[in-house]
Amino acid sequence: MVKKITRDELIKMRKSGQRFILVDVLSKDSYEKEHIPGAISIPISELETKASSLLNKNDTIIVYCASFECMASTNAAEKLQAMGFSRVLDYKGGLKDYEEGGEKLEGSMHASADCSSVNCASCCACG
């Protein structure tokens, strides 16, 4: 069974300096547009081929996707466990929950505070 982690728990782990690897399992395009700071990108479609070379089986790994409605992080956590990664946590809230909690995302959608940008409505920098 996959253990879940909340936004508050993730933030607490980050602030305490606890060592973990944060993995965005959405597409590369999605990751480039926006992701949680410090996350690495391993799309779920590439997990089985890239996880062993990018992750250590003894590390704490936190996976996330878009939101509570998205199942990619749960599926990724299950795949990682099946591959022998024993310390896997699923941040179900993902990008949406993280941002709704007042936390900043990074990526091309959040790179500039230029309010003439077409994507500005989806960026918190001009609010």
The one catalytic residue among 65, 115, 123, 126: 65
Q: CB under 8 Å to 100, separation ≥6 — which residues? A: none
Q: Per the structure, how many domains does the chain have?
A: 1
- 79 neighbors 48 (Cβ within 8 angstroms): yes
96 closest CA partner among 61, 62, 75, 124: 124
Report the share of the chain in percent with pLDDT over 90.
85
Q: What is the CATH number of the domain that holds 68?
A: 3.40.250.10
Give the domain extent around 8. 3-126
Catalytic, 70? Answer no
Single pTM value for the model: 0.86
For 80-123, what is each residue's pLDDT tens digit?
999 999 999 999 999 999 999 999 999 999 876 544 444 433 33
70 closest CA partner among 28, 36, 106, 26: 26
